[in-house]
Structure 1
Amino acid sequence: IVPIMLSCVIGTAVCRHFKKESLDTVELAKAGINLEAGKERNIMKSIRVGDVMIKKPETIPEHMTLGQFADFIASTRHTNFPLVNSKQEMTGIISVQDFMGVVFEKDLMDLIVVKELATLDVITVTADDDLDTAMKKIGYRNIEQLPV
């Protein structure tokens, strides 16, 4: 019995070296499910961004002054806002953190527009992307939200 057990162990080790999937997992691998990635990651890959995104985010006109922005953020729970131009096209993102650097400069509140403080090079995702892709992009720049 020992020689048979030893040959089975050696045969299994050689097979796993050349082919990662077993007979049980080969169909799952063909379907795009990676068992080594973990349950959470596979769940993230199965959910589309369009299914969980905020459909109508609060937007800020790019010509809004800092004083107007200060009044606006006092009445909202969000911390990041897409900037839009007169055609309602996104031109950047402004966050409360961007604003905090000048919040005590009262002389500038009516002189500076939010576009001057905003991030104009914005990373985006599409509604068809999966959440795993979105999370990688969020981790890449250490940001809290992604525009779709």
Structure 2
Amino acid sequence: YMAMALLIAGACMLFMFCLERFEEGFSRIKMPGFLKPMLGGFLLALIAYFFPQLHGFSNYPTVNAVFEGQYLWYFIAALGILKMVATSLTLGSGGTGGVFAPCLFIGAMIGNTFGYGAHRLFPESTATAGSYALVGMGALMAGVTGAPLTSVILIFELSGKYSIVLPLMITCAISTILVQIVMKGSVFTRPLIKKGVFYGVRRNVLRRKRVREILRADFLSVSPQTRLRELLALLPNSKQYAYPVLGPDGGLVGIVSLQDFQAVVFEEEVADVVVVGDIMTREVLTVTPENTLEEALLKIGDENIEYLPVLEGGESRKVLGLVSRRDILSCYNREIREFVEAASPI
């Protein structure tokens, strides 16, 4: 069953890939929107003409016939693949439908095919092909929809067989995990991800990321005795526009920013008279490495500042680095871009 879980996971990815590719393919076809379902319906009719077992109302009789052994294994495998194509044609062209029944159908076909081969190779230690078909139904539904618990309960309710519960749970779990790792979502969440709509732990990057992950440890600092002329000399060669003011013990005693000295920056006669201690902000908002980026951004927004010193925490005033509004927004944009790219079709 663990081996079948790998096969089912691959089938899940193939099914999801087909759904996305067909949808993108039809979106590129230049024709009136109302004609696209007609084209999809025509192609679907051709498939149904040669393989009437794929017709919507024939799904469950076909599955029952598979359980009874009325079809050859290679025909069963072909039905599973063709069902992926037929469903993708329907949904991709703009037709109405879902993936619930197709998942059960495809899972039964692939599970039965695997079970047939396993039983032929190891007749004494494997179950019948029908048992593999039942487990395959649940595993494929779990992988595609990302709902393993629902799939386990559903298949158990349909079959009433206690003997398949353990292999069903194992197969559904493995299938779901593999699909989530590779596809980064289910058939329902991947379209949302690619549109920039996020969910779960990924939904809020700023709450998940910590200040320690983006703080700048290579910062410039000044002392309260630093003259204004010396401070101005730092600006041309630095992208930093706020400087922590450190006392004799190296602890933070204030911060001086461009807003603090812009009133006197053009008064040449005071450049050697004014010192940082005269113009610095003494009540400094700070964060620690364990604060979230959301907490840091809220502090920045509340006071309309650009930089926050990052302190060790506790009673210590030692400055570990700086975090800026730009750093936070860059981190956010980078995470969103990577997540969207990871959700692109394989």
User: What TM-score, normalized to structure 1?
Assistant: 0.70
In structure 2, the gaps of 5 or more residues are 1-146, 148-198, 311-346
The Cα shift of 1:106 comes to 1.5
In structure 2, the residue matched to 1:28 is none
Matched, 1:91 2:253: yes
CA distance in 1, matches of 2:225, 2:214: 30
CA distance in 2, matches of 1:123, 1:92: 9
Residue 135 of structure 1, aligned match among 297, 301, 305: 297
In structure 1, the residue matched to 2:274 is 112
CA distance in 1, matches of 2:238, 2:297: 25
In structure 1, the gaps of 5 or more residues are 1-23, 25-34
Residue 50 of structure 1, aligned match among 203, 212, 224: 212
The Cα shift of 1:123 comes to 0.6
Q: CA RMSD in A?
A: 2.0
Report percent identity of matched pairs: 30
CA distance in 1, matches of 2:232, 2:294: 34
Matched, 1:79 2:213: no
Give the 4+ runs in structure 1 shifted more than 3 A: none
CA distance in 1, matches of 2:234, 2:292: 32
> Highest relative contact order (Cα 8 Å, sep 6+), 1 or 2?
1
**Number of aligned residues:** 113
SS in 1 for 2:230: helix
Structure of higher CA gyration radius: 2
CA deviation string 1:3-46 (max 9, x = no partner): xxxxxxxxxxxxxxxxxxxxx9xxxxxxxxxx69x93xx21111
Q: Report the AA paired with residue 51 of structure 1.
A: E
Matched, 1:59 2:221: yes
CA deviation string 1:86-108 (max 9, x = no partner): 21111111112222110121121
Q: Which has the higher helix share?
A: 2
Residue 146 of structure 1, aligned match among 280, 293, 308: 308
